[in-house]
Chains A and B, each alone.
Chain A
Amino acid sequence: MVTIIKIAWRNVWRNKLRSLIVITSMVLGLWSGLFAVAMSRGINEQRVKSAIDTYLHHVQIHNPSFEYNLDINSVIEDPTCVLEEIENNSLVKAFSSRIIISVMASTAHGTEGVKIIGIESEKETSFSEISQNIVKGNYFSKTKSKPVIIGQKLADNLKLDIKKKLSVTFVDDNGDIQRIKFKVEGIFNTANSIFDGGNIFVKKEDLIDLFKNKYATHEIAILCNNIDDSNILKENLAGLFPKNKVETWKDISPELGSVQEIMVWFFLIFMSIILLALSFGIVNIMLMAVLERKRELGMLMSVGLNKTKVFLMILFETIFISCISLPLGILLSYLMISYYGQVGIDLSIVSKGLEAFGMKSMVYTDLPIDYYFRITILTLFVTLISSLFPARRALKLDPAEAIRSL
């Protein structure tokens, strides 16, 4: 057995160039696959982070009927009690209450349906990214005249600029049409252009007069000290205030959370395809090697090497090739992924396109360790299967036939 392994090992190096080509292609295949997956994970992570920072946050509270039809009357029940509880909850890092109304925003250049969000401008700075994304003008300074912060996208659509007037029209809680004029104070630009085109921010106090209750609020957004506490806090609050609907970011945007789980499958399928392609290469090369060595194998079988041993010899040869490639490919991937996980890859050349999907231009590659384990097992499995073909081919050789061609 040891000799069979020894022969197989030496056979790998008989045609150095050929073996090196196979090994290189396998290393590159593994690397490109793993790196691509690490990159898409990085992109997705960035997307989740950006969504949480700009509009999702960790936990949100609404009136159960608020949903997405944004009925102006669907305010949170017992807002004062809720706010007091949140204020004193140790899991909470920051929070802000908002008034949200679906409105038509219009200028001389057109009309767009948007969400107007009345925020507690000071509190909001501590956890919403909007204040950091101002590209023109200011974020709620001391101006008296009903300021509004709008997205770059909307500004482009309605040809708006700072200091320009924007009037919003909506139906108030009595069913009457209301029109309010705001003055553009700042323009923000997040990584998500859909968000930028559909949301405008005003001070909550400029909208509160519409309501009888001066604590009226449609949404309370909360940031936890740790994102993993989101669920605990949700349970917590939902138990205390059953009349309101408490949701985590995953409840609100399940597609964002589930991408991570889908990614695992994507990874397995993607890598399987790469490995399949690679294994065709290995099978091809090994079949060539078997046919090339027909006489030698015939000789070995003639002098008494039994079929099991011939089979194992070819099997080991194939396995050796992948056992050299596998650690090299994994190591290369690990080093590259760790490096770009720290430094990041600047995708700003294509970032205009990415922003439409809510992505940032810096991507940090990310691949958990268990992915490396999975790929190792998958590769070993695929090579084992593919090594069976050439080994079986070797078994079909007829020694008498093979040595006749000596």
Chain B
Amino acid sequence: MNVIETKNISKLYKQADQDIKALNDVSINFKKGEFTAIVGPSGSGKTTFLNTIGGLDSPSSGKVLIDNNEITKLNSNQLIDFRLRNIGFVFQSYNLIPVLTAKENVEFIMLMQGSSKSIRDKRSVELLKSVGLDDQLNRRPNQLSGGQQQRVAVARALASKPKFVLADEPTANLDSSSTSNLLDIMSRLNKKEKMTFIFSTHDQRVIDRANRIITLEDGKILSDINVK
């Protein structure tokens, strides 16, 4: 069963001098429980690809199906709701609401989904514990290190019980120990909870942890390797 299916998606950015094909006829499937790295040189279309399967950006042509729902047919309000209920996001930075504590940040997404207070309380603490931050519950983002902030972001991404988590260069701003720490947490969640992760990266050490590596170049899939 495929969690994500893309059918011939292309993304065209019209520019004054020339049109840029950020994605060029990409058809690819993702199965539940995969731990995938998207790699490729700068400008190869990694961000565009992740944004498109995450419903943040719509392709110029082609279809994106998530659990057999064609999200390319949804309007912008439906998409926002779809993202809220189905997709977890971890960005490179600015993941958290600065005026909320770590725990409130994690709870926030559940609140938007309409979970009850007791569930929110329990799950946010559980999640922060699983990313090793149960002693930092009441700190605000600016009182946390970059690595800790990204771990809170992972906890936040999982809070909504998404079908998969998209992470665009989640370790780009982290030092090597924070990077391996974050990867440990992600791969543990992947194994234990069968959570599907798709992340883009430039970092060889991060690529080495993936069990599927997709290489993009000029908006096309150059290679798709299953490591294990």
Contact = CB atoms under 8 A, between A and B. Distances in A.
A118 to B, nearest CB: 80
A303 B100 CA distance: 15
- B interface, how many residues as a size bin? 20 to 34
Interface string A1-26: 00100010011001000000000000
B51 A7 contact: no
Interface in B63-105: 77, 80-81, 83-85, 89, 91-95, 97-100, 104
Interface string B36-76: 00000000000100010010110000000000000000000
Contacts of A7: 97, 99-100
A303 B111 CA distance: 12
B99 A304 contact: no
Contacts of B157: 303
Interface stretch (A178-186, A265-273, A366-374, A396-404): A396-404
Contacts of A400: 51, 56-57
Nearest to B84: A304
Nearest to A12: B99
A303 B109 contact: yes
A249 to B, nearest CB: 61
B97 A307 contact: no
Given A296-B98, A303-B84, A303-B89, 18 more contacts: A7-B99, A10-B99, A299-B89, A302-B83, A302-B89, A303-B83, A304-B81, A304-B83, A304-B85, A304-B112, A304-B160, A306-B81, A306-B84, A399-B56, A400-B57, A403-B91, A404-B47, A406-B92
A296 B94 contact: yes
A404 B109 CA distance: 21
Contact of B94 (A14, A295, A307, A309): A295
A19 to B, nearest CB: 13
A300 B97 contact: yes
Interface in A93-113: none
A67 B89 CA distance: 87
Given A302-B56, A304-B83, A306-B77, A11 B89 contact: no
B139 to A, nearest CB: 15
Contact of A296 (B47, B51, B81, B97): B97
Given A296-B94, A400-B51, A400-B57, A301 B80 contact: yes
A301 B109 CA distance: 11
A305 interface: yes
Interface string B154-182: 00110010000000100000000000000
Contacts of A295: 94
Nearest to B54: A302
B108 interface: yes
A175 B92 CA distance: 105
Contacts of A309: 112
| In the complex, the 6 A-B pairs of residues with the closest C-beta atoms, listed nearest first | A304-B84, A10-B99, A400-B57, A400-B56, A295-B94, A306-B80
A309 B94 CA distance: 19
